[in-house]
């Protein structure tokens, strides 16, 4: 069994959280509140030591980079959000942030749409059976799913059957997603149980 007090704290908090599986109880709530409090405190410390100190206060005070006063003032304006009377002042720094996020629009369209369309149009059929099968599934899957979401014409006849195929393929993809979700959740349980058995109790190696 571990003699490290931090491992003990981790193990006890893990057990407190697991107690929720039995039913909602004050021990679980205690762990929940401790987690939220520590997360916020940690976030503040990391932001101070990794961002504000090295990127703002040190250059400003030690290196006399007075240009940084401008972003400092702009960031302070953000705090006016808490005032009901002067809250409108916080819109100025927000305008900077929103203005910059405009850059994301063409970049996202290019990365998530145009490149994907290009890849589907140029799909490689290859020489072996599996490559041909994969390419066919990609082509047929993309087209049938697109038709499923095309509502300007009634889903009847051939269009109806293709749309039906599209909806079936979507169901398969949802099933795959759900399977992955189960895998992810079990992984989290495995992680905690391995921590309890190995790091805390030391009964497995």
Does 71 participate in binding other proteins (rule CB under 8 A)? no
Does 41 participate in binding other proteins (rule CB under 8 A)? no
List the one residue from 76, 146, 171, 176 that touches other proteins (CB under 8 A): 176
Does 112 participate in binding other proteins (rule CB under 8 A)? yes
Assigned token pair, 187: 């992984």
Residue with tokens 């302070």: 76
Residues 127 and 134: their CA atoms lie apart, in Å, by: 12
List the one residue from 36, 110, 125, 171 that touches other proteins (CB under 8 A): 110
CB contact set of 203 (below 8 Å; sequence gap of 6+): 197
Assigned token pair, 47: 């932001």
Residues 205 and 2: their CA atoms lie apart, in Å, by: 13
Interface region with other proteins, contact rule CB under 8 A, candidates 68-76, 82-90, 156-164, 184-192 = 184-192
Residues 105 and 193: their CA atoms lie apart, in Å, by: 43
Instruction: Note the residues at the interface with other proteins (CB under 8 A).
Output: 21-22, 39, 42-43, 46-47, 50-51, 54-55, 59, 100-101, 103-104, 107-108, 110-112, 115-116, 118-119, 123, 138, 173, 176-177, 180-184, 186-194, 197-198, 203-204
């Amino acid at each position: 069994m571990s003699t490290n007090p931090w491992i003990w704290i981790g193990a006890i908090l893990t057990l407190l959280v697991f107690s929720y599986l039995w039913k909602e109880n004050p021990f679980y709530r205690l762990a929940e509140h401790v987690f939220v409090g520590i997360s916020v405190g940690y976030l503040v410390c990391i932001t101070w030591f990794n961002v504000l100190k090295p990127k703002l206060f040190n250059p400003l005070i030690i290196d006399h980079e007075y240009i940084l006063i401008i972003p400092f003032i702009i960031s302070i304006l953000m705090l006016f959000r808490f005032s009901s009377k002067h809250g409108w002042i916080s819109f100025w720094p927000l305008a900077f942030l929103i203005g910059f996020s405009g850059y994301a629009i063409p970049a996202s369209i290019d990365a998530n749409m145009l490149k994907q369309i290009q890849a589907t149009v140029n799909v490689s059929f290859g020489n072996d059976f599996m490559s041909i099968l994969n390419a066919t599934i990609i082509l047929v899957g993309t087209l049938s799913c697109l038709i499923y979401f095309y509502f300007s014409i009634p889903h009847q006849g051939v269009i109806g059957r293709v749309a039906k195929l599209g909806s079936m393929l979507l169901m398969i993809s949802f099933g795959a997603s759900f399977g992955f979700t189960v895998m992810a959740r079990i992984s989290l349980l495995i992680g905690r149980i391995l921590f309890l058995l190995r790091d805390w109790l030391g009964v497995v190696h």
